[in-house]
C-alpha cells in the first residue's frame, strides 16, 4: 500500500539536495552523452537526447532510488558494430526491440537471474570493452587523417598503424589540455565540485578556437551543428524483415543493458544503504529504451559512475535523476550552438579516462594471478571480447564457467562403501577391512549433489557392491544434497539392476528435496515406503529382523549394535559405528 509523500517536508529538507545533485550530474552527463554517441558512430545530439529521455524515464520508473540512466561505455562496441554493419536506422529498430525484451524480462520477474552471471565473466567483458573504447579513441587523440571506424580491435589497430604518419600536433595539444584537466582537477580541493570534463572541454575549445583556429576537426565540422531542440517523433522500421534482421543484436543490447543497470543498482545500494527492485528496474530500463528510439536516441542503461556521482552529491530522492535530465535539456536548448565548436580531439581523452576507470584492471590482475578456473573464465572472456565480439565472449565465457562448475560438482560428489568403525574403550586391533565387511548388508554412502553432471559416478561403486554379494544394499543418503531427473534415472537403473541380481535395496536419511524428486520419477516405485528410513540404525534393524537372515547364524563379529548376535558383553568390546556416525 502506497503512502502519500509529505510534500512540505520534501520542499523544506530534500528539494535543495536533489537540485544540487541533479545539476552536478547533469553537467557531468553532457560531455559523456556526446562522447559515447560519437564513439558509437552516430551524431553527438543523439547521445544528448538519450541522456534526457532515458535519464528521466529510468529515474521515474526504475527500481533503484538513485539510478542515473543514459548512454554508457559498455554499449559502445555493440552499437558501433551495429551501425557499421546495419546502419543507424536499424540501430533504432534494435533499440526498440531491446526495450520490449527488457519489459518482458521485468514482467516475467527475471531480474534475479542476472545475479547468476559469474563475476569473472562480468569483469572479463568489462575490461575487454574498456580496451576497445580506448583503442577506438587513439585516432581522434592524435588527429589521424583517413582513419575509418571498425567493429573489431585488430582492424582498428591496423588502420591506426597505416595512418600513423598523419599525426596532427594541434589535435595532440588540444587532447592533452583536456587530459591534464581530467587528471589534475579532481585532486584540487577548490575544484572538487567542478566536473573536470566540463573544464577540460571548455579550455580545449577555447585554445582551439582562439590560438589555432581551423586546425582541428570539431563536432560541427564532422557532424554538423547540434540542433537546439528535441527531434520530432519518428517510428523505426518495424517491418518483418527488419525485425528478423535485428532481433539478435536486440537480445545482446537487452542482456547487456540488464546486466549493466543491475550492477549499477547494486553499487547504489552499497553506497546509499538502499535496496533496489530488480524487476522494476528492468521495466524502467525497458520503457526508456522503448521511447528513446522514437526520438532518434541510442540504447541506454544504468550508468555506474553517474549514479555514484548522484549519491555523493547528496541526492535525496529519485527526483534528482529527473532534474539531471532537465538540466541536460536546458543546456541543449541554450548552448547547442557552442557545443558544435568542441574539438573531437578534446572528446577523446574523456572516453579514454572512462575506459581506464571501467577497466577493472586490479580485479583482472588479481583474478589472473589466482590461477584458478575463474582465471581461465576471466582471461577467455577478456580476450574474446577484444578480438571477436561481446556476444561470442559472453557465450563462451559462460560455457567455460558452466563446465568448470560441473567439474567442481563432480569432484564434490563422494560415493563410497561405508565400513563399520571401531568404537568404545576396547577397540579391536586385529580385524582387516575384509573382516569388517558384513555378508548380510553392504552399505554405500552418497555424499554431495547427484545430478546430470555427476550421475555417472554411481556406476563403479555399484559394481563393487555387486561383487560383495551381500543380501541387502543399504544406501545412506543423508548427505545427498540434490537429486535431479538424470540422477534419479541413473539411480533407478542401478537399483533395478541390483534387484535383478537378487538383492534388496533400502535407503536411509533421504532429505526433503531428493525425496520430492524421487516421488516424481519411477524411482519411487523401486523404493517403497517400507524400504525408506530416516536413520541408518532403523534400516539395519529392519534388515536384521527379516526371517531370511541365515547369514547371521553363527556370526560373532557383532559389527553393529543392531546385529542379532550382539550379546550384552562381547569379547571384542563395543560394537562398531558406520562411517564415523552412530548407526542409531
pLDDT of residue 578 exceeding 90, the answer is no
Distance, CA of 393 to CA of 225 (rounded, Å): 38
Q: Is residue 570 very low, low, confident or very high in pLDDT (cuts 50, 70, 90)?
A: very low
Q: What is the mean pLDDT of residues 51-58?
A: 97
Q: Tell me: the pLDDT tens digits for 66-95?
A: 999 999 998 999 999 999 999 999 999 999
Distance, CA of 131 to CA of 166 (rounded, Å): 23
Q: What is the pLDDT of residue 108?
A: 94
Which is more confidently placed, 433 or 262? 262
Total residues belonging to the chain: 584
Q: What is the pLDDT of residue 134?
A: 93
Q: What is the pLDDT of residue 556?
A: 66
Q: Tell me: the pLDDT tens digits for 296-336?
A: 999 999 998 899 889 988 899 999 999 999 999 999 999 88
SS3 string, 37-89, reads HHHCCCCHHHHHHHHHHHHHHHHHHCCCCCCCEECCHHHHHHHHHHHHHHCHH
Q: What is the pLDDT of residue 527?
A: 83
Which contiguous run of DSSP H or E holds residue 514? helix 512-519
Q: Any idea which of 196-205, 251-260, 285-294, 563-572 has the lowest mean pLDDT? A: 563-572
Question: Which of 518, 520, 516, 466 lies closest to 494, judged by CA?
Answer: 466
Q: Is residue 520 very low, low, confident or very high in pLDDT (cuts 50, 70, 90)?
A: confident
Q: What is the mean pLDDT of residues 351-363?
A: 90
User: How many other CB atoms sit within 10 Å of the CB of residue 235?
Assistant: 10
Distance, CA of 533 to CA of 491 (rounded, Å): 17
User: How many other CB atoms sit within 10 Å of the CB of residue 398?
Assistant: 16
Coil, strand or helix at 474: strand
Q: What is the pLDDT of residue 190?
A: 43
The rounded radius of gyration (Å) of the Cα atoms in the chain is 33
Q: What is the mean pLDDT of residues 263-286?
A: 92
- Could you report how far apart the first and last alpha carbons of the chain are, in Å? 52
Which phi and psi angles does 205 have, rounded to 5°? -65, -40
% of residues, the chain, pLDDT over 70: 88
C-alpha cell at position 450: 547427484
Q: What is the mean pLDDT of residues 541-556?
A: 73
Q: Is residue 193 very low, low, confident or very high in pLDDT (cuts 50, 70, 90)?
A: low
Q: What is the mean pLDDT of residues 375-384?
A: 95
Q: Any idea which of 3-7, 236-240, 324-328 has the lowest mean pLDDT? A: 3-7
3-state helix, strand, coil in the chain (%, to 5): 65, 10, 30
Q: What is the pLDDT of residue 78?
A: 93
Q: What is the pLDDT of residue 515?
A: 84
DSSP tag of 552: G
Cβ neighbours of residue 577 closer than 8 Å, sequence gap 6 or more: 420, 421, 423, 583
CA 55 to chain CA mean position, Å:
23
Q: Is residue 427 very low, low, confident or very high in pLDDT (cuts 50, 70, 90)?
A: very low
pLDDT of residue 563 exceeding 80, the answer is no
pLDDT of residue 553 exceeding 70, the answer is no
The matching CATH number, chosen from 3.40.190.10, 3.20.20.60, 3.30.750.24, 3.50.50.60, for 414-578 is: 3.30.750.24
- The label of the residue with cell 571506424 reads 149
Cβ neighbours of residue 385 closer than 8 Å, sequence gap 6 or more: 77, 124, 125, 127, 128, 129, 131, 132, 393
Coil, strand or helix at 462: helix
Distance, CA of 401 to CA of 123 (rounded, Å): 13
Q: What is the pLDDT of residue 389?
A: 85
Q: What is the pLDDT of residue 429?
A: 42
Q: What is the pLDDT of residue 187?
A: 52
Does residue 384 contact residue 397 with C-beta atoms inside 8 Å?
yes
Question: Counting beta carbons within 10 angstroms of the beta carbon of residue 494, is it exposed (0 to 12), middle (13 to 18) or buried (19 or more)?
Answer: buried
Strand partners, 416: 445
Distance, CA of 575 to CA of 422 (rounded, Å): 7
C-alpha cell at position 35: 562522447
pLDDT of residue 346 exceeding 90, the answer is yes
Distance, CA of 348 to CA of 217 (rounded, Å): 12
Roughly what angle, to the nearest 10 degrees, separates helices 76-86 and 88-107? 130
Mean residue pLDDT of the chain comes to 86
pLDDT of residue 123 exceeding 80, the answer is yes
Task: Give whichever of 6-10, 289-293, 536-540 has the largest mean pLDDT.
Answer: 289-293
DSSP tag of 433: T
pLDDT of residue 188 exceeding 60, the answer is no
% of residues, the chain, pLDDT over 90: 54
Distance, CA of 265 to CA of 274 (rounded, Å): 9
Does residue 580 contact residue 422 with C-beta atoms inside 8 Å?
no
User: How many other CB atoms sit within 10 Å of the CB of residue 148?
Assistant: 10
Q: What is the pLDDT of residue 425?
A: 37
SS3 string, 285-331, reads HHHHHHHHHHHCCCCCEECHHHHHHHHHCCCCCCHHHHHHHHHHHHH
Cβ neighbours of residue 207 closer than 8 Å, sequence gap 6 or more: 173, 174, 177
Sheet holding 504-508, edge to edge: 414-417, 441-450, 472-483, 504-508, 532-533
pLDDT of residue 433 exceeding 80, the answer is no
Q: What is the pLDDT of residue 502?
A: 87
Q: What is the pLDDT of residue 530?
A: 86
Kindly tell me the sign of the dihedral angle through the C-alpha atoms of 20, 21, 22, 28.
positive
Which contiguous run of DSSP H or E holds residue 507? strand 504-508
Domain residue ranges of the chain, discontinuous segments joined by + = 10-401, 414-578
Compute the CA torsion angle 204, 208, 209, 211 (nearest 10 deg). 110
Distance, CA of 406 to CA of 411 (rounded, Å): 9
DSSP tag of 473: E
pLDDT of residue 465 exceeding 90, the answer is no
pLDDT of residue 579 exceeding 70, the answer is no
Strands 472-483 and 414-417: unpaired
Cβ neighbours of residue 105 closer than 8 Å, sequence gap 6 or more: 111, 254, 258, 282, 286
Q: What is the mean pLDDT of residues 479-497?
A: 90
Amino acid at each position: 500500500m502506497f503512502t502519500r509523500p509529505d510534500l512540505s517536508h520534501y520542499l523544506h529538507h530534500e528539494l535543495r539536495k536533489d537540485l544540487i545533485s541533479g545539476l552536478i550530474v547533469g553537467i557531468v552527463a553532457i560531455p559523456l552523452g556526446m562522447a559515447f554517441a560519437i564513439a558509437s558512430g552516430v551524431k553527438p545530439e543523439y547521445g544528448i537526447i538519450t541522456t534526457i529521455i532515458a535519464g528521466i524515464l529510468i529515474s521515474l520508473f526504475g527500481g533503484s532510488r538513485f539510478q542515473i540512466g543514459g548512454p554508457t561505455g559498455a554499449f559502445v562496441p555493440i552499437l558501433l558494430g551495429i551501425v557499421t554493419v546495419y546502419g543507424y536506422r536499424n540501430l533504432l529498430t534494435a533499440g526498440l526491440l531491446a526495450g520490449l525484451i527488457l519489459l518482458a524480462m521485468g514482467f516475467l520477474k527475471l531480474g534475479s537471474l542476472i545475479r547468476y552471471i559469474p563475476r569473472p565473466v562480468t569483469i572479463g567483458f568489462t575490461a575487454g570493452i574498456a580496451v576497445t573504447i580506448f583503442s577506438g579513441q587513439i585516432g581522434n587523440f592524435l588527429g589521424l587523417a583517413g582513419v575509418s571506424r571498425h567493429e573489431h580491435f585488430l582492424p582498428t589497430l591496423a588502420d591506426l598503424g597505416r595512418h600513423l604518419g598523419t599525426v596532427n600536433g594541434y589535435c595532440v595539444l588540444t587532447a592533452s589540455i583536456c587530459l591534464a584537466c581530467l587528471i589534475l582537477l579532481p585532486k584540487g580541493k577548490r575544484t572538487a565540485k567542478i566536473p573536470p570534463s566540463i573544464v577540460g572541454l571548455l579550455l580545449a575549445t577555447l585554445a582551439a578556437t582562439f590560438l589555432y583556429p581551423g586546425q582541428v576537426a570539431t563536432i560541427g565540422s564532422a557532424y554538423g551543428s547540434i540542433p537546439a531542440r528535441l527531434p520530432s517523433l519518428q517510428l523505426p522500421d518495424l517491418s518483418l524483415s527488419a525485425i528478423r534482421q535485428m532481433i539478435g543484436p536486440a537480445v545482446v543490447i537487452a542482456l547487456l543493458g540488464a546486466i549493466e543497470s543491475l550492477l549499477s543498482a547494486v553499487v547504489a545500494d552499497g553506497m546509499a544503504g538502499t535496496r533496489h527492485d530488480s524487476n522494476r528496474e528492468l521495466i524502467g530500463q525497458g520503457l526508456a529504451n522503448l521511447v528513446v528510439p522514437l526520438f532518434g536516441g541510442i540504447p541506454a542503461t544504468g550508468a555506474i559512475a553517474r549514479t555514484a556521482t548522484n549519491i555523493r552529491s547528496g541526492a535525496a530522492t529519485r527526483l534528482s535523476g529527473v532534474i539531471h535530465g532537465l538540466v541536460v535539456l536546458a543546456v541543449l536548448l541554450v548552448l547547442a550552438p557552442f557545443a558544435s565548436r568542441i574539438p573531437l580531439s578534446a572528446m577523446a581523452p574523456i572516453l579514454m579516462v572512462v575506459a581506464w576507470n571501467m577497466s577493472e584492471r586490479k580485479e583482472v590482475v588479481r583474478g589472473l594471478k589466482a590461477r584458478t578456473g575463474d582465471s581461465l573464465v576471466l582471461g577467455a572472456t577478456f580476450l574474446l571480447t577484444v578480438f571477436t565480439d561481446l556476444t561470442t565472449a559472453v557465450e563462451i565465457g559462460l560455457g567455460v564457467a558452466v563446465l568448470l562448475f560441473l567439474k567442481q560438482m563432480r569432484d564434490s560428489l563422494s560415493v563410497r562403501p561405508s565400513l563399520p568403525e571401531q568404537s568404545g574403550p576396547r577397540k579391536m586391533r586385529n580385524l582387516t577391512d575384509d573382516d569388517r565387511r558384513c555378508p548380510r548388508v553392504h552399505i554405500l554412502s552418497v555424499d554431495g549433489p547427484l545430478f546430470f553432471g555427476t550421475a555417472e559416478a554411481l556406476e563403479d561403486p555399484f559394481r563393487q557392491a555387486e561383487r560383495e554379494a551381500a543380501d541387502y544394499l543399504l544406501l545412506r543418503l543423508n548427505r545427498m544434497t540434490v537429486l535431479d531427473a538424470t540422477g534419479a534415472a541413473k539411480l533407478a537403473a542401478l537399483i533395478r539392476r541390483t534387484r535383478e541380481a537378487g538383492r534388496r535395496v533400502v535407503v536411509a536419511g533421504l532429505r526433503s528435496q531428493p525425496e520430492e524428486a524421487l516421488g516424481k520419477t519411477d524411482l519411487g516405485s523401486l523404493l517403497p515406503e517400507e524400504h525408506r528410513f530416516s536413520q541408518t540404525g532403523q534400516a539395519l534393524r529392519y534388515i536384521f529382523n527379516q526371517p531370511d537372515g541365515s547369514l547371521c547364524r553363527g556370526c560373532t563379529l557383532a559389527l553393529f549394535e543392531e546385529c542379532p548376535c550382539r550379546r550384552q558383553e562381547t569379547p571384542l568390546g563395543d560394537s562398531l559405528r558406520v562411517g564415523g556416525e552412530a548407526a542409531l
